[in-house]
Amino acid sequence: MFPDLTNQTFGAYKLTALLGRGGMAAVYRGYQESIDRTVAVKVLPAMFMLDETFLSRFITEAKVLSKLTLDGILPLYEFGEKNGTPYIVMPLMSGGSLENRLTNGPLPLTEVIRIVTPLAEALDYAHEQGIYHRDVKPSNILFDQRDEPILTDFGIAKTFESASSNLTNSMIIGTPDYMSPEQGRGLELDGRSDQYALGVVVYEALTGHVPFNAPNLLGIIYKHATEAPPSLRTHNTDLSEAVDVAVLKALAKNPDERFPNVTGFARALANAAYLSRDFWLPDTKTKPRGKRPPQPSDKTVPITRPGNEPKS
């Protein structure tokens, strides 16, 4: 699906090296000689151009995404197509991805909270604009030169989904390991679906495991839709019950049983960590990288187990 495009030129950018290749795109290091700038160029499958309306949808979506200007969201420099191949130009993130970091095992709770807090704010900001990510996962969480987390690939799954419906019925858009039950069922989505996906990311970051495994993709989607995820403490006994309950609430099957927004999830996770004394104190010898973990909110979000909500 992806021929090697190294040394070819897309717009003002020469592709100098292949950085990675996935099911939906290939990413190259690009160089813009006119201003001596190095960027990332994401090249999308040419097969989608077989859908006559794909390019117009792609351009419309890119214009919307270019207006998402907030720390925590990877900005869009340019977009276009060359000989029927669509591409997107973005800043090159020097800190790698969360996926890379998780290959070394679970992360400390304070580090997970440091990462999740700005991502939750970024997702809520996008949701207020009517934009949903649809593919939150560790490989779409990058780190800049200051080690701050950045979300990439906003809305691309939606554009692919529309085009793929005219190409093949067997193509799964999104990543089943992180897919909400409603997304797996093909239902209409809102911001609570992104909250679920971020909840899976947190689950994996804290335990080293995703909630569900199956021999095939459809099996994973089925489990997300029908099975309760195992307690995080099954994999990591150092986690408190409060942290377990906060994450499992974000993973509720019914979107109405999740937090009202993604920031609410991040705040509940921080509150749970504070109550279980999992935050570092100022006089400790080692501190997590980056910003100090958020302090508990004055308006603590109540955490209840799914199915045990207080009766009105």
More confident residue, 255 or 168: 255
163 — pLDDT class (breaks 50, 70, 90): very low
pLDDT at 33 over 70: yes
Domain 98-275 matching CATH 1.10.510.10: the answer reads yes
Catalytic residue among 51, 71, 124, 135: 135
Q: Higher model confidence: residue 116 or residue 76?
A: 116
Per-position b or e across 3-29, b if 16+ CB within 10 A of its CB = eebeebebbbbbbeeeeeeeebbbbbb
d(CA 133, CA 194): 6
Q: State how far the alpha carbon of 299 is from the alpha carbons of 74, 124, 206, 270, 302, in Å.
A: 30, 18, 25, 12, 9
Whether the pLDDT of residue 234 is over 80: the answer is yes
Q: Is 283 a catalytic residue?
A: no
Percentage of the chain beyond pLDDT 70 is: 75
Question: Tell me, what DSSP letter sits at residue 180?
Answer: -
Spatial CA neighbour of 189 closest among 146, 238, 242, 130: 130
- E strands of 44-108, at which residues? 78-82, 85-91
Beta strand 26-32 with 13-21 is: antiparallel
- Indicate the CATH number of 9-91 among 3.30.200.20, 3.40.630.30, 3.60.15.10, 3.40.50.150: 3.30.200.20
Instruction: Return left, alpha or beta for 96; rule: phi > 0 is left, psi -120 to 50 is alpha, else beta.
Output: left
Higher pLDDT, 70 or 100: 100
- The pLDDT assigned to 16 comes to 97
Q: How confident is the model at residue 252 (pLDDT cuts 50, 70, 90)?
A: very high
Identical topology for domains 9-91 and 98-275: no
Per-residue model confidence as pLDDT tens digits over 295-309: 444 444 444 444 555
Domain boundaries, the chain: 9-91, 98-275
pLDDT at 115 (0 to 100):
97
